Amino acid sequence: MCTRGYWMWGLSRRVSLPGGFRYGPRRPLGVHRYLCNFPHSPRICIIGSGPAGFYTAQHLLKHHSKLLVDIYEKLPVPFGLVRFGVAPDHPEVKSYGADSKRELGIPGEELPGVYSARDFVGWYNGLPSQRHLNPDLSNETAVILGQGNVALDIARILLSPIELLKKTDITQSALDALVHSRIRTVWLIGRRGPLQVAFTIKELREMLQLPGTRPRLDPSDYQGLGDIAKDLPRPRKRLTELLVKSALEKPAAKDCARWDQANREWGLYFLRSPIQVLPSKDGRKAAGVRLSITRLEGTGDTAVAIPTGQVEDISCGLILSSIGYKSVPISPAVPFLCEQGIIPNCMGRVTGYPGLYCSGWVKRGPTGVITTTMTDSFETAQAMLEDINSGALSWSDPKPGATAIKELITLRGIQSISFSDWQKIDSVETARGQKIGKPREKILDPEEMLKFACH
């Protein structure tokens, strides 16, 4: 069953994730101990220890008492982008996964100063591969291409008072960089209109209330939307009403006073699509972005942005592309639809490959939040249980599985660690964080992680 990543440890009954998501183990066991103690039990292999992997394992173990589940992860630490994927001041909603990013496909995106949201989020969340990112925060204006929750997360991190961030598990290197940041304005660019924004009301409300920061919402963008909002589905209706109220109505006295004193600001820019990153005079870094002005054809979520032929330039020194994540093929032996970034499947059953299943974004594409992933993973797990109970999955001719993987890891000289080894890393990170008033201080170097795991 594929979610993402590779590595090694076993799961018996219960394991806990950061942020309050509980999945279970009363006692985590190494894979080799399963092989000794339960030679005839059905065994499931899950590749990837993110939310999709754990939710799938939870459902399987809850509804089949004899199943054994082995989880493999490529990093020395579990939980995938639950650990690495979302702003550190939102530990309760960490929920993003997928191994790659979507390219803008425009001239100049390779220039220094242009980053994907995935890389930038990974940088401040301690993803080892992004620990050397070193983004340039010396310009006063940043542009985020996208208007989803991740885009708002990034804007909030760039503009939040340092005193608030010091209480989170943001990496110390990112915190040090933000202390010296000169960014004062963040624009969030969307190719469509306010009725198509992808963020949710909770994230918007938090941005509106962010200390030391004021919103810049152009009233002309919201004229007439109040009447339209009445007929929208409830979540979209409430979100649109808050946007309209914030843009068109006089703010409360306390908000007015707070915004007047703010020295930072953020705004939503609609009907704009990036067509070029503008270089500095010496051509060595990004200095702005050229936007195509668009118009909408259609209504609601199906509305399409059409270029008008007009363009507009915004000067900025930091450009962050938050246009979505993308899964990548796990193996040539596993079918993969590159354009959609998914494994072809039906209810999680990989098309044409009995016994192979998928869950998470590689199953449905990069959409949804933690509850979506939970429901989706339960669906895959239920399909697996149905196939086990109906006899569609046969255990009479088992594959070498964990035995062969363990032997291969040993043969290649790869150092693998167990869940109990991870707990040693966890205790070091927690202790380091407590010394400076944070929930944890993440270890960024995998080699250092291994040192503590095997100590």
> Do 20 and 154 belong together in one domain?
no
CA–CA distance, 397 with 375 (Å, rounded to integer): 31
Please report how many Cα atoms fall inside a 13 Å half-sphere around the Cα of residue 209, on the Cβ side. Answer: 7
pLDDT band (50, 70, 90) for residue 141: very high
Last residue of a domain, one of 291, 323, 355: 323
- Give how far the C-alpha of residue 265 lies from the chain's centroid of Cα atoms, to the nearest Å: 25
CATH number at residue 292: 3.50.50.60
Tell me which residue of 292, 270, 328, 271 sits closest to 107, measured CA to CA: 292
pLDDT at residue number 100: 52
Q: Is residue 392 assigned to a domain?
A: yes
Tell me which residue of 347, 371, 376, 349 sits closest to 361, measured CA to CA: 376
- The catalytic residue among 308, 351, 367, 371 is 371
> Do 259 and 303 belong together in one domain?
yes
> Do 162 and 264 belong together in one domain?
yes
Give the SS3 label for residue 30. Answer: coil
Q: Is residue 339 assigned to a domain?
A: yes
Q: Which residues pair with 292 in a beta bridge?
A: 273, 311
Q: Taking a C-beta distance cutoff of 8 angstroms, is the pair 129, 446 a contact?
A: no
44 is catalytic: no
- The catalytic residue among 44, 47, 90, 154 is 90
Q: Report cis status (omega within 30 of 0) of the bond before 25.
A: yes
Could you read off the pLDDT of 165-222 as tens digits, one per residue?
A: 999 999 999 999 999 999 999 999 999 999 999 999 999 999 999 999 999 999 999 9
Tell me which residue of 150, 419, 156, 115 sits closest to 285, measured CA to CA: 115
Could you read off the pLDDT of 335-376 as tens digits, one per residue?
A: 999 888 899 999 999 999 999 999 988 998 877 777 888 999
Q: Which residues pair with 43 in a beta bridge?
A: 68
CA–CA distance, 249 with 395 (Å, rounded to integer): 65
Last residue of a domain, one of 292, 323, 354: 323
> Do 119 and 268 belong together in one domain?
yes
Work out the number of other CB atoms within 10 angstroms of the CB of residue 235. 10
> Do 242 and 272 belong together in one domain?
yes
CA–CA distance, 314 with 311 (Å, rounded to integer): 10
Residue 275 domain boundaries:
103-323
Q: Is residue 277 assigned to a domain?
A: yes
Phi, psi of 211 (to 5 degrees): -60, 140
pLDDT at residue number 6: 33
> Do 213 and 296 belong together in one domain?
yes
Do strands 43-47 and 68-72 pair parallel, antiparallel, or not at all (unpaired)? parallel
Q: Taking a C-beta distance cutoff of 8 angstroms, is the pair 236, 244 a contact?
A: no
pLDDT at residue number 156: 97
Total domains present in the chain: 2
Give the SS3 label for residue 291. Answer: strand
Q: Is residue 257 assigned to a domain?
A: yes
> Do 236 and 356 belong together in one domain?
no
pLDDT at residue number 215: 96
> Do 293 and 334 belong together in one domain?
no
In terms of residues, how long is the chain?
455
56 is catalytic: no
Torsion (CA) 222, 223, 227, 230 in degrees, nearest 10: 0
> Do 396 and 313 belong together in one domain?
no
> Do 154 and 130 belong together in one domain?
yes
- The catalytic residue among 70, 99, 153, 169 is 153
CA–CA distance, 117 with 9 (Å, rounded to integer): 30
Q: Is residue 436 assigned to a domain?
A: no
403 is catalytic: no
90 is catalytic: yes
Last residue of a domain, one of 260, 291, 323: 323
Q: Is residue 96 assigned to a domain?
A: no
Q: Is residue 352 assigned to a domain?
A: yes
Could you read off the pLDDT of 252-298 as tens digits, one per residue?
A: 888 999 999 999 999 999 999 999 999 999 999 999 999 999 999 99
pLDDT at residue number 288: 97
pLDDT at 14 over 90: no
> Do 310 and 336 belong together in one domain?
no
Q: Is residue 427 assigned to a domain?
A: no
> Do 113 and 29 belong together in one domain?
no
pLDDT at 47 over 80: yes
- The catalytic residue among 370, 388, 417, 425 is 370
pLDDT at 322 over 70: yes
Query: Is the model more confident about 99 or about 390?
Result: 390
CATH number at residue 338: 3.40.50.720
Q: What is the DSSP string of 252-285?
A: PHHHHHHHHH-SEEEEEE-SEEEEEEEEPTTSSS
